[in-house]
Amino acid sequence: MIELQPPTLAPEVWLNYRTAAVRQLAFALASPNILSSLPPELQIQHAFTLHADIFWQQHYLNYQQRLAYLDLHPEALHNFLNQLKSTRLGLRFEMLMWFWLLDRDYHPFELLGHSIQIIDGAKTIGELDFLLRNHDTQQIEHWEVALKYYLAEADFSLPHWYGLNRSDTLARKLNHFSQKQFQFEQALNFPIQQRFAVLKGQLYFPHLYSQNIVDRTPHWVNRARRLGTWGNHIPENTADFYRLQRHEWICQNVQASSLTNQWWTDGLYFQATTSEFYMYRAASYLSYPPLHVE
């Protein structure tokens, strides 16, 4: 199997913590965006940007003391997350970001509003995840946050990255950012001066591939984030692979949460000995024939 990770892979500092929710909070903050830049083929209607990896690294360093405390005393984080009744991972990720943004002692962002509905007459035309005042720049920022898992097919170009629901594609999500979510000039009577997409999660390449395919990896895929693989077959070496529980898609728990599998079903699997993430999908998921080593 060809190694997908670069030698400069950022340290996965979220694994330093023992409490599951704190590991997830550390991941939400410290992990880089899954994209290092916007794909050039994306048609930009309303401009937005991605934070650089160093942005998240620095804010993690500023928050380390708080995370260490929460690892020993997680009650405040647990109580905050318990407000969420939905099981959707994207909403849990948004709650984790919200928790951090409310911790004003550790960053320059003043939270002006969350889940702000924009209403035109009797019609809701949009909703903003976060509206912030950056006290370092004195600018008003609009952040949209998303936790996404996309699987690469075909030539790995922008149109060929699919979510677990095949109607959820990377291209569709980026277009939704540009055409709809970042269309607003103001909110809560504040002029919006900066727009940022916080797009985290994980990307997956086909498990059976050749070096020339890897060499065609788009430059906008962020190689500072650990990449996974996916396939519709059970790997030959299944030793130590176990199926991650839903919340562990954000960050796996310290201890394996399920037994190593004698049978496989759709889901995300992790092998501790190699730190490999493998997304198993039924053959019916594919729009292309199964890939083979060239």
User: For 107-124, how does the pLDDT look when each residue is reduced to its tens digit (9 = 90+)?
Assistant: 999 999 999 999 887 788
Burial zone of 54 (CB within 10 Å; 0-12 exposed, 13-18 middle, 19+ buried):
exposed
pLDDT in tens, 16-32: 999 999 999 999 999 99
Q: Report the length, in residues, of the chain.
A: 294
pLDDT at residue 292 in the model: 36
At 212 the pLDDT is 54
- Please state the rounded mean pLDDT for residues 219-245: 90
Report strand pairing: 139-152 vs 194-206.
parallel
Distance CA 93, CA 98 (A): 9
Lowest mean pLDDT among 3-7, 16-20, 193-197, 242-246: 3-7
Determine the average pLDDT of the residues in 275-290.
Answer: 73
pLDDT at 209: 65
What span, in angstroms and rounded, lies between the C-alpha atoms of 75 and 80?
8
- Can you name the residues that pair with 132 across neighbouring β-strands? 111, 141
Q: Which of 62, 9, 2 is nearest to 31 (CA)?
A: 9
Q: Are 212 and 237 in contact (CB under 8 A)?
A: no
- Report in angstroms the alpha-carbon separations of 148 from 67, 164, 192: 24, 9, 25
Asked whether residue 286 carries a pLDDT value surpassing 80, the answer given is no
43: left (phi over 0), alpha (psi -120 to 50) or beta: beta
Mean pLDDT of 92-102: 98
Three-state DSSP class for residue 48: coil
* CA–CA distance, 27 with 63 (Å, rounded to integer): 12
Task: Read off the pTM.
Answer: 0.92
Residue 116: domain span: 13-285
Is residue 7 included in any domain, yes or no? no
Q: Does 286 or 126 have the greater pLDDT score?
A: 126
Q: CA-to-CA distance for 127 and 226, rounded, in angstroms?
A: 31
Instruction: Indicate whether 134 belongs to any domain.
Output: yes
The owner of tokens 């996965």 is: 12
Q: Which of 172-176, 257-261, 283-287 has the lowest mean pLDDT?
A: 283-287
| Burial group, residue 43, by CB count within 10 angstroms (0-12, 13-18, 19+) | exposed
The answer to whether 208 and 278 have CB atoms below 8 angstroms apart is no
> What average pLDDT score do residues 23-51 get?
97
Over the chain, what is the mean pLDDT?
A: 90
Question: Is 88 buried (19+), middle (13-18) or exposed (0-12) by CB count in 10 A?
Answer: exposed
Q: Is residue 254 part of a domain?
A: yes
Three state DSSP letters for 248-288:
HHCCCCCCCCCCECCCCCCEEEEECCCCEEEEECCHHHCCC
Tokens of 183: 């269309």
**Segment holding 21, helix H or strand E:** helix 20-30
Task: List CB contacts of 33: < 8 A, sequence separation 6 or more.
Answer: 50, 51, 53, 56, 197, 198, 199, 200, 222, 225
pLDDT at 262: 67
290 band by pLDDT with thresholds 50, 70 and 90: very low
Give the per-residue pLDDT at 289: 46
pLDDT of residue 276: 92
The answer to whether residue 253 sits within a structural domain is yes
- Number of domains forming the structure of the chain: 1
Average pLDDT (182-190) is: 97
